[in-house]
Amino acid sequence: MEEAKSNQAMLRICGFIVDKRNLFFLIFGILAIFSAFSRNWVSVENDMAYYLPGTTETRQGLDLMEEEFVTYGSISVMVANVSYDQGESIKEGIEKIDGVFSVNFDDSSEYYNNGSAKLAITFDYDEKDDRCLEAQDRVKEYLDGYDYYLITTLGDVEAEMINDEMKVISVIVVVIVLSVLLLTTQAYAEIPVLLITFGGSAILQMGTNFVFGTISFVSDSVTIVLQLALSIDYAIILLNRYKEEHALYEPREAIIIALSKAIPEIAGSSLTTIGGLIAMTFMQYKMGPDMGIVLIKAILLSLVGVFLLMPGVIMLFANLMEKTQHKNFIPQIPFVGKFAYKTRYIIAPIFFVLIVAGYMISSRCNYVFGDSTVTTPIENDMQHAEKLMEENFGATNLVAMMVPTGNYEAEKQLINELESRDEVDHCQGLANIEALNGYTLTDKLTPRQFSELIDLDYEVAKLVYAAYAINDEDYAKAINGIESYSVPLIDMFMFVKQEVDEGYVTLDDELMDTLNDAYEQMNFGKKQLKGENYSRILVYLTLPEEDEETYAFLQEMHTIAEKYYPDGKVLLCGNSVSQYDLKNTFSRDNTVVNIMSILVVLVVLLFTFKSAGMPVLLIIVIQGSIWINFSCSTVLQQNMFFLSYLIVSSIQMGANIDYAIVIASRYTELRETMTRPEAIIDTMNMSFPTIVTSGSMLALAGITIGKLTSNVAIYNIGQTLGRGTIISIIITMFVLPQILLVGDAIIAKTAFVMNMPIKTKEATGLMRVDGIVRGHINGNVMGTMHAVVRGDISAYVEAGDITPLSEEDMAELDKMAVIEEKTNPVKAEEEKEACDDEK
């Protein structure tokens, strides 16, 4: 009875969706307009280090630098085909540009080589200040006419380049989807139905990302393409159901019945995809949860589009779909099923050997954590500039070291020891930056030395030093030994400037100019290198960014620093440190993603097939496909970006398992009435259209992404997702059938369907009978019934129920009778008479 009520409730809900389609059109239209504005409210994060866990050294270092130091905007420019004198002239010209603080350029090979000049330009403003971009534009304008190449991290350059690339990719993917649909649909008007449905979901997806505040550049760039490839199945399932029902019913009734049947099927299919994405949310590296949640939202919105928007769109295009039917271009493939049956004892064992080999080879894949060792198929302007600059001036590997502030002597000794190492090119800190006449910023000067340095009267200098001592609460020095009292140069300059500004000290114009110039330079350096609690030392390494030797030296840098700061915390920050932290999080995330994706999908499959054997076989097939996919990278000696592996392994498990489910479900259903050879042949014929449609879209979308992007992470995602989908299609078409045939007995023996006790039912009157019935209904009946009976019933109901009909049910039967009359007039007339008599 409960099942019958549930079915009636589902039909009523579906009827409401179809009949109120104009309301849903209006809602989707309003949301689409809203999304056109709200899509611009989301912030995109381009820094991969942003997503590192808070416990990592990189994250702590970045947070500390944000709190303690000012990082001024800077750019590097290489001007090719110029003489050294021209380089000097260009430097002088750029220094005069408003907003430029300094330009580093000299005759060393670091700045002039092979007829090219390298200029390191620093602006007056924090790197997050928009005025840096304005100054950068003025530099570009000045260099117009020169053959120059610019490297910058200011603004959203990376995001803009990725957006431009994804616009091209999206257009190509749409063309691919149209081409596939032209070949796989049965009517040309089916294509706009599918595109409108997906378009509505895609617009909502983009327009709702603002709820997250900030999303990663990966999520922002590839989600729409992956949403199309992952969710197109749902629309195809509903469309195929509609066509099946439309063979018997008018469009309205057909779409209501089709929707009621498709909702459970589509929801079950989406759970496997969502299950794979849920695994990503358990990653320690937060870009995984970022992309997982965004894609899960995309899948859910696709379901909303299919369930609420698509039924109405089908009603709009129903007549046109009938008029634009064309030849079915997808052939029958009985040879695949025959091949599977003949080779079942050969292919299955070979595949299990191949799985073991794939696991062993894929475990040796060379995972990388930066973009310096992966070559993308296309090169953007920034990458081209970096490549040319590296060829002419060598690569730069900068590591920032933060140490407790206040001990200039320890800082100086630390810098000296670091610079004595072969792994270090040079260091830059307050303790080794030259200020005036050979003195560094942290050298301690007596009053006489200070007076001689800036040409200040000695007596005035002593008074200033005495004031400094009192301000520093060093009263003994102020009273008795001021002549030998020494103060770090930078601290004294800061103090004198403060005294002058407050009117306690008066200097002549020439001395005031000297003071102001020195103060500007020192204050600029201090803001970058000295914070309230920490000092920053810039260490330029001779080692590559990503290398085991580099990682080992990072640990050694800690050991060296701890000798001078045994009681304070030392932090390192830089690309090499970030990549080292990513490497450490990867091993944990890799294990978690693999285990969680398998477990979540396994649970879904257990409830889908109600057998312990079937889920295991299907997961073995798809996990084997994943291992084979990444073993290809090992064999081809391709470096694999770690994030791409984690994302693709989750998506491949969640999405490609659908292909295996399609085949397994059909086979299980057909085995009830057919022999194994017949069942597997029909299974492959029925499953091929769905697999070739969805699979080709996902594969071609992945390949397109991989061929047309300059971003390492996106390139690897597209490359491996496209290849992995092709491998999964081949294995589900030419290996899974053999495994199902061989594992037939295992599947049957591990089934755990719980049969309900046999219920004896006795009733008289007008009743609906649904289920497997054995008993007396005006005659003996044994079989599955879906009928309306008038008379006496005394029967056992093994599955289902006997439900007395209410007035409301009778009214529903009247509606259905109209439909039945057209397909079976005799039967419809008999049922109508029975209802009239009962009324």
Q: What is the pLDDT of residue 815?
A: 59
CB-based contact 73:132 (threshold 8 Å): yes
Q: By the 8 A CB rule, do 730 and 762 touch? A: no
Kindly report, residue by residue over 352-405, the tens digit of the pLDDT.
Answer: 999 999 999 998 998 888 887 888 888 888 888 888 998 888 888 999 999 998
- Confidence label for 476 from pLDDT (cuts 50, 70 and 90): low
How much is the pTM? Answer: 0.76
pLDDT category of residue 249 using cuts at 50, 70 and 90: confident
CA dist., res. 59 & res. 700, Å (int)? 37
Range in 265-274, 400-409, 750-759 the model is least confident about? 750-759
Evaluate if residue 7 carries a pLDDT over 70. Answer: no
Rounded-to-integer distance, Cα 344 and Cα 379, Å: 47
- Poorest-pLDDT segment among 92-101, 229-238, 387-396, 448-457: 229-238
Confidence band, pLDDT 50/70/90 cuts, at residue 755: very low
Mention every residue, 6+ apart, whose C-beta is less than 8 A from residue 673.
none
Radius of gyration of the chain measured on its C-alpha atoms: 36
Whether 266 shows a pLDDT value over 50: the answer reads yes
| C-alpha dihedral, 586 to 589 to 590 to 595, nearest 10° | 170
The reported pLDDT for the residue numbered 21 is 93
628-683 pLDDT, tens digit each: 999 999 999 888 888 888 888 877 877 777 788 888 888 887 888 888 899 999 98
pLDDT at 28: 93
Question: What is each CA distance from 782 to 468, 613, 764, in whole angstroms?
Answer: 106, 31, 19
Whole-angstrom Cα distance, residue 839 to residue 808? 12
Query: Residue 609 has what pLDDT?
Result: 79
Going by the DSSP 8-state scheme, the letter that residue 78 receives in this structure is E
Residue appearing with tokens 């407790």: 404
E strands within 144-212?
147-152
Q: Residue 252's pLDDT band (boundaries 50, 70, 90)? A: very high
Task: Return the HEC string of 460-502.
Answer: HHHHHHHHHHHHCCCHHHHHCCHHHCCEEHHHHHHHHHHHHHC
Greater confidence (99 vs 592) lies with: 99
> Alpha-carbon torsion 89, 90, 91, 92, what sign?
positive
Q: How far apart, in whole angstroms, are the C-alpha atoms of residue 646 and residue 642? A: 7
Give the number of residues written for the chain: 839
Q: CB count, 10 Å around CB of 268? A: 16
For residue 474, name the pLDDT band (cuts at 50, 70, 90).
Answer: low
Q: How far apart are CA 799 and CA 401, in angstroms?
A: 72
**The tokens 């080999």 sit on which residue?**
357
Cα–chain-centroid distance for residue 497?
51
Is the Cα torsion angle 704, 705, 706, 708 positive or negative in sign? Answer: positive
Q: How many CB atoms lie within 10 A of CB 85?
A: 8
Concatenating the DSSP letter of every residue in 256-289 gives: HHHHHHHHHHHHHHHHHHHHHHHHHTT-SSTHHH
213 sits in the region (left: phi over 0; alpha: psi -120 to 50; else beta) called: left
Place of tokens 């009214």: 811
Write down the residue that tokens 């990966």 correspond to: 218
Q: What is the mean pLDDT of residues 557-578?
A: 91
CA distances to 197, 412, 499, 502, 540 from 505, rounded to whole Å, are 76, 31, 6, 8, 41
Q: How confident is the model at residue 105 (pLDDT cuts 50, 70, 90)?
A: very high
Beta bridge partners of 444: 488
Determine contact, residues 149/77, Cβ cutoff 8 Å.
yes
Find, among 627, 628, 577, 622, the residue nearest to 601 by Cα.
622
**How far is residue 217 from each of residues 154, 159, 522, 578, measured CA to CA in Å?**
16, 7, 38, 18
Cα–Cα distance for residue pair 615/528, rounded to 1 Å: 58
Residue 349: pLDDT band (50, 70, 90) is very high
Average pLDDT of the chain is 84
Residue 416: pLDDT band with limits 50, 70, 90: very high
Place of tokens 């997806």: 205
Asked if residues 651 and 276 have their Cβ atoms less than 8 Å apart, the reply is yes
CA distance 728 to 626: 8
Cα–Cα nearest to 699, from 604, 629, 619: 629
Give the CA-trace dihedral at 786, 792, 797, 800, to 10 degrees: 40
**Distances, alpha carbon 56 to alpha carbons 19, 62, 284, 574, 580, in Å:** 56, 10, 11, 12, 10
CA nearest to 376, candidates 37, 642, 86, 705:
705
Residue 231, pLDDT > 80, answer no
Q: Which of 769, 758, 772 is nearest to 809 (CA)?
A: 769
Q: Average pLDDT for residues 734-754, to the nearest whole number?
A: 82
| pLDDT at res. 522 | 84
Which residues neighbour 180 within 8 Å (Cβ) at sequence distance 6 or greater? 693, 696, 697, 700
Counting Cβ atoms within 10 Å, is residue 455 exposed (0-12), middle (13-18) or buried (19+)?
exposed
Cβ(601)–Cβ(619) under 8 Å? yes
**pLDDT score, position 832:** 52
Paired strand residues for 770: 786, 801
**pLDDT tens string 424-460:** 999 998 888 887 777 888 888 888 988 888 888 888 8
Question: Is residue 791 pLDDT above 70, yes or no?
Answer: no
- pLDDT at res. 777: 59
